């Protein structure tokens, strides 16, 4: 069923989402359970449900989902959406509430005859008595009587008539009141007097949405004696006690998972970039995603913050279009929204932040440098332990001089050239000539304590494995991994080894992105965890232990996909450690960087010989009786035609494939698929057209065998041209793949294959 797009105005305004298809934070089931409970409630007694949550956490969206679910049971419930914002005083508030209740009853419950004879209001007007629940009171019964100008039967008799109507109809009235915490204090108090007045009304349910801390303080003032401490603890406690008497079922809004919030934030940023025609390269997107994950995640606590961040970006990008680096501008806005104190500090201390690494090659006096560090740390300290690490991570991504100050070099995430010249060419915020532009205008929960997380890190591997499942269920995978990553520099070799296995086993819980586009793999939990594992290796003191950990992961640890992701990350580190960047300049001259995982010959043996064979062995074990081209299709060509072909494994790969083809001749289509290029489109991987390179590799192994199998299917049909274009992204038919293979084989054998068709 197609879903309606959420328009940009709703998103930018941070408005509630009512369509379950747009449930970004997995709250539809929670909402449906509430609705089902209200619908199926057998007791006729009234019930008051409180939905608690902070501003911007998504309470109104959850109410929208609940309304939608209630609307599917019109024979069981009628909904009264009461908006207390529209009424200036308490008399109007109560009169309008009962008026709307009368309308609901009249439209949904009364017969035409009852409506004509009695009028709607006569069923509810008598139910407004003298109110008093604390020092503040209101006598509005007479006002109601005067305004309605109706004869009033006895209250108890009339209440029984209303309740009987509801009972006979088989329906309940569900009264929904949202945004109570945004009202003025007097209005909040009036709403709860209204609820207290009508809470014992049979066949009714109340669903009240608010920030319980804010409302408790407002309600508590009705009972306050005037003497209280600076924090207002007595007032707050009195308000809480009152809420406990009124709210029979308090429900806390489920926390949005950090990974869901990050994905939501990323989607809003993409919308903002599209709105402003700002295009980022794949490399820039990768840099931005990594910086947001490490620098923003602990501070991204509500959907509204993500929307506010995206709105700030959307507003600021056109102001400086062409004048600044877009990625840096987005990260400066992140600094502004999530770390306002740090943003102000940076803006007023330009000299401490601008410049490239070469600008601080001759360090200042040690006491001066320590003073700089202390000033920065004092500024971020109020953000808490994770906030400090995350805020510093954001500074490292923006300012090479700060990375140099704290680490003596650049973190891996910021690998861009960092000379002043390079920074100026990039229009970076760290460029002295561009810094003022970024600050010349103004745009305007974690649930695991540090102590608990530290105890987890200090536990034995067995204890950690048990505790990790609980932590992940509360934090989500992304935040859990990030919290571990923040602590890596302080790990002992033994701690790092133990956590390696814990993280690897958690890969069964990862969301997975094997079918997603490359940019989604960058933000995937597997890639985040693979980066963490590689960082852990640097804490393991012995090379043989590092190798053991890697081999155990590839052989049987975690999921196959996660093991491959870790292999890809290790491959990039191998390049760094065996290339020119593996050397550093010291006072003694150019030397090999001592901080390395393996020497060049160790890398060669591990990555080119040992791990490929372990991957092959693992894939075969996981495949069971299936051929690899069916069980592991996107990895099969490399495993079969490269890894197995280069090994002495028996039976050899030719016999392996021939045996399967002899049993299942139609498998030739699956073989042709793995001889094709892999294309990612619309979030899915698929095989496109057969490639010259893969046909040549297959022919080198099989000679004419595969061609003959193809001909067995095609018959004598002449294949004089390549169906389609080898470079095309369209998915061909199975028969066209056979023709493509046949054509390329014939061309290679005759020597007529041209370079253009090989691209």
The percent helix, strand, coil of the chain (3-state, each to 5) is 65, 5, 30
Which among 82, 105, 118, 37 has a CA at the least distance from the CA of 195? 82
Instruction: Kindly state the helix (H) or strand (E) to which residue 79 belongs, with its residue range.
Output: strand 77-81
pLDDT value at residue 698 = 94
Which among 295, 404, 426 has a CA at the least distance from the CA of 356? 404
The C-alpha atoms of residue 421 and residue 316 are separated, in whole angstroms, by 25
The C-alpha atoms of residue 552 and residue 562 are separated, in whole angstroms, by 13
DSSP letter at 732 equals P
Per-residue model confidence as pLDDT tens digits over 54-87? 887 788 888 888 899 899 988 888 999 988 877 6
The C-alpha atoms of residue 513 and residue 507 are separated, in whole angstroms, by 12
pLDDT value at residue 138 = 40
pLDDT value at residue 27 = 78
Question: Mean pLDDT across the chain, nearest whole number?
Answer: 80
The residue ranges of the chain whose pLDDT is under 70 are: 1-24, 87-88, 106-159, 161-163, 199, 223-232, 358-364, 409-417, 441-451, 511-523, 580-594, 681-683, 753-759
pLDDT value at residue 587 = 65
pLDDT value at residue 620 = 95
Which among 393, 183, 396 has a CA at the least distance from the CA of 296? 393
pLDDT value at residue 131 = 40
The C-alpha atoms of residue 30 and residue 7 are separated, in whole angstroms, by 25
| Cβ atoms 203, 167 nearer than 8 A | yes
Q: Where are the alpha helices (DSSP H) in 642-704?
A: 653-663, 668-674, 692-702
| Cβ atoms 487, 535 nearer than 8 A | no
pLDDT value at residue 515 = 45
Per-residue model confidence as pLDDT tens digits over 414-454? 556 677 777 877 888 998 878 888 887 533 344 566 667 78
Q: What are phi and psi of 176, to 5 degrees?
A: -110, 125
Residues 6+ apart with CB under 8 A from 127: 98, 155, 158, 159, 162, 198, 201
Instruction: Kindly state the helix (H) or strand (E) to which residue 757 belongs, with its residue range.
Output: none
The C-alpha atoms of residue 580 and residue 355 are separated, in whole angstroms, by 24
**Dihedral sign, CA of 143, 148, 152, 154?**
negative
| Cβ atoms 263, 25 nearer than 8 A | no
């Amino acid at each position: 069923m197609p879903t309606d797009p959420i328009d940009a105005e709703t998103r930018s305004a941070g408005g509630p989402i009512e369509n379950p298809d747009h449930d970004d934070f997995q709250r539809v089931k929670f909402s449906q359970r509430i609705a089902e409970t209200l619908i199926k409630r057998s007791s006729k007694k009234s019930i008051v449900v409180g939905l608690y949550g902070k501003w911007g956490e998504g309470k109104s969206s959850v109410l929208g989902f609940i309304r939608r679910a209630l609307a599917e049971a019109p024979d069981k419930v009628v909904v009264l959406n009461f908006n207390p914002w529209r009424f200036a005083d308490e008399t109007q508030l109560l009169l309008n509430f009962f008026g709307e209740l009368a309308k609901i009853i009249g439209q949904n419950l009364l017969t035409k005859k009852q409506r004509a004879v009695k009028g709607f209001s006569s069923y509810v007007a008598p139910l407004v008595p003298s109110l008093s629940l604390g020092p503040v009171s209101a006598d509005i019964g007479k006002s109601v009587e005067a305004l309605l100008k109706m004869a009033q039967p006895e209250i108890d008799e009339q209440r029984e008539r209303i309740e009987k109507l509801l009972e006979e109809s088989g329906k309940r009235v569900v009264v929904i009141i949202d945004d109570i915490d945004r009202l003025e204090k007097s209005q909040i108090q009036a709403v709860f007097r209204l609820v207290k007045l009508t809470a014992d009304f049979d066949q009714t349910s109340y669903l009240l949405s608010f920030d319980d801390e804010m409302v408790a303080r407002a309600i508590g003032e009705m009972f306050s004696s005037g003497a209280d401490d600076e924090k207002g603890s007595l007032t707050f406690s009195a308000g809480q006690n009152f809420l406990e008497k009124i709210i029979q079922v308090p429900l806390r809004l489920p926390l949005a998972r950090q990974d869901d919030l990050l994905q939501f934030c990323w989607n809003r940023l993409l919308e903002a970039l599209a709105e402003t025609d700002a295009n980022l390269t794949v490399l820039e997107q990768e840099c931005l995603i990594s910086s947001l994950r490490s620098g923003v995640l602990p501070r991204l606590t509500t959907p509204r913050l993500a929307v506010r961040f995206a709105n700030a970006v959307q507003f600021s990008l056109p102001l400086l279009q062409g004048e600044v680096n877009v990625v840096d501008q987005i990260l400066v806005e992140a600094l502004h929204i999530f770390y306002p104190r740090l943003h102000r500090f940076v803006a007023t201390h330009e000299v401490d932040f601008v410049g490239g690494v070469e600008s601080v090659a001759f360090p200042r006096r040690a006491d001066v440098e320590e003073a700089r560090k202390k000033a920065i740390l004092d500024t971020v300290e109020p953000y808490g332990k994770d906030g400090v690490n995350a805020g510093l991570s954001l500074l490292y991504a923006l300012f090479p001089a700060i990375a140099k100050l704290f680490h003596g070099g650049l973190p891996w995430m910021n690998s861009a050239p960092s000379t002043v010249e390079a920074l100026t060419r990039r229009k970076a915020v760290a460029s002295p000539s561009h810094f003022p532009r970024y600050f010349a205008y103004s745009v305007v929960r974690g649930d695991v304590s540090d102590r608990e997380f530290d105890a987890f890190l200090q536990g034995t591997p067995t204890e950690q494995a048990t505790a990790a499942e609980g932590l992940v269920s509360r934090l989500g995978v992304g935040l859990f991994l990030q919290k571990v990553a923040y602590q890596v520099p302080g790990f002992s070799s033994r701690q790092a080894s133990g956590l390696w296995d814990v993280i690897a086993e958690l890969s069964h819980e990862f969301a997975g992105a094997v079918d997603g586009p490359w940019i989604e793999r960058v933000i995937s939990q597997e890639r985040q965890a693979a980066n963490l594992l590689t960082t852990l290796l640097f804490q393991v003191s012995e090379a043989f232990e590092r190798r053991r950990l890697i081999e155990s992961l590839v052989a049987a640890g975690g999921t196959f996909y996660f093991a491959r992701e870790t292999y890809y990350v290790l491959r990039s580190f191998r390049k760094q450690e065996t290339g020119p960047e593996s050397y550093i300049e010291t006072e003694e001259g150019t030397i090999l960087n001592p901080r390395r995982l393996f020497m060049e010959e160790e890398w060669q043996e591990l990555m080119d010989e040992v791990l490929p064979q372990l991957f092959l062995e693992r894939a075969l074990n996981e495949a069971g009786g299936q051929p690899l081209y069916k069980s592991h299709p996107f990895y099969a060509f490399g495993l079969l035609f490269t890894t197995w072909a280069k090994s002495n494994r028996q039976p050899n790969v030719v016999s392996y494939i021939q045996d399967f083809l002899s049993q299942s001749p139609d498998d030739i289509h699956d073989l042709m698929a793995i001889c094709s290029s892999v294309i990612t489109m619309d979030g899915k991987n698929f095989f496109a057209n057969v490639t010259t390179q893969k046909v040549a590799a297959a022919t080198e192994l099989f000679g004419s065998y595969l061609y003959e199998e193809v001909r067995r299917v095609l018959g004598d049909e002449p294949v004089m041209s390549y169906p389609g274009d080898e470079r095309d992204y369209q998915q061909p038919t199975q028969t066209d793949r056979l023709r493509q293979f046949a054509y390329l084989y014939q061309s290679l054998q005759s020597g007529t294959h041209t370079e253009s068709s090989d691209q």
